Homo-oligomer: A and B are copies of this chain.
Amino acid sequence: MPDNNHPVAVDVKKPAGPRKAVGLPRALRGSHGGPGEAPLGEPFGLTNFGVNLTTLAPGAVSALRHGHSRQDEFVYILEGCPTLHTDEGRTRLSPGMCAGFKAGGCDAHQLINETDETVAYLEVGDRTPGDEAHYPDDDLKAEMIKGQWRFAHKDGRPW
């Protein structure tokens, strides 16, 4: 082990189970499954950005369609063929394809597994403070406060 008590390398073949709803209002959770995630940067103590190995079972979606105000996001498809839903419409991705979502844009995105096979991808996001998320398809907005999302209706009333 290095002197900082982090491993030299990690072999992550099986992500953990679906992530917690992290406070998402129950009325907006839907009946679809959420993603499974294995945090890959945390074992090494990384703090400037996060990397997840994320899986989507058939029918699962990555998140409500959203965009970020300050944090860039990036996905690289490892397995399966998820559908990327943006303002441009729906684009079927495949292994070796990638997409990036620049902070501050007016577009929003989500990945949907509309196939019968599991989808696996890497997702990267930085940790720029003061981030907010907008959700064009739902009565929802979110603000990152001390590392936790705080959700509200679009008119500001808390959920």
A interface, CB within 8 angstroms of B: 1-4, 6, 8-13, 40-41, 43-49, 51, 71-72, 74, 76, 84, 86-88, 91, 93-94, 96-103, 105-107, 122, 124, 126, 128
Query: Once bound together, how far apart are the Cα atoms of A6 and B106, in whole Å?
Result: 13
- Residues of chain B contacted by A9 (CB below 8 angstroms): 84, 91, 93, 97-99
30 residue pairs bridging A and B, Cβ less than 8 Å apart: A1-B88, A2-B88, A3-B87, A3-B107, A6-B100, A8-B99, A9-B93, A9-B98, A10-B97, A10-B98, A10-B99, A11-B97, A12-B96, A13-B96, A40-B74, A40-B76, A41-B72, A44-B102, A46-B72, A46-B74, A46-B100, A46-B102, A47-B102, A48-B49, A48-B71, A48-B126, A49-B126, A51-B74, A51-B98, A122-B122
